[in-house]
Amino acid sequence: MVNNQINYVEFKAIDLEEIKRFYTECFGWSFTDYGPTYTAFSNSGLEGGFEKTQEMITNGVLVVLYSENLEEIKKVIAMAGGQISKDIFSFPGGRRFHFLDPSGNELAIWSDKV
């Protein structure tokens, strides 16, 4: 993994079984489920995942960057005018937070480091 570069892309999905069927049938992607609300994909050129949602999807893509130090990059983002939209939280495999850039685009940064 390379620090401060795009590492993962996350989409929203209403029906995870249907979305897995679609991308497997069309493109040969592979999936790994992480509970009932999340599935990760591989064999796509860039790793990513689908998060289950019941809400209407208007912007269903979340670009995820990697950083070795979440606390430090969070400070850098805030000092540069970014807005933290979801504070650091844990998930299977690591921790992450979300932020809004000056135009309102939401991105996330994750780390496997504690």
The answer to whether residues 68 and 76 touch, using CB atoms and an 8 Å cutoff, is no
Domains (range + CATH), the chain: 1-63 (3.10.180.10), 67-114 (3.10.180.10)
Mean pLDDT score across all residues of the chain: 92
What pLDDT score does 2 carry? 87
Please tell me which residue, 102 or 17, carries the higher pLDDT value: 17
Q: What is the pLDDT of residues 88-99, one digit of tens each?
A: 999 999 999 999
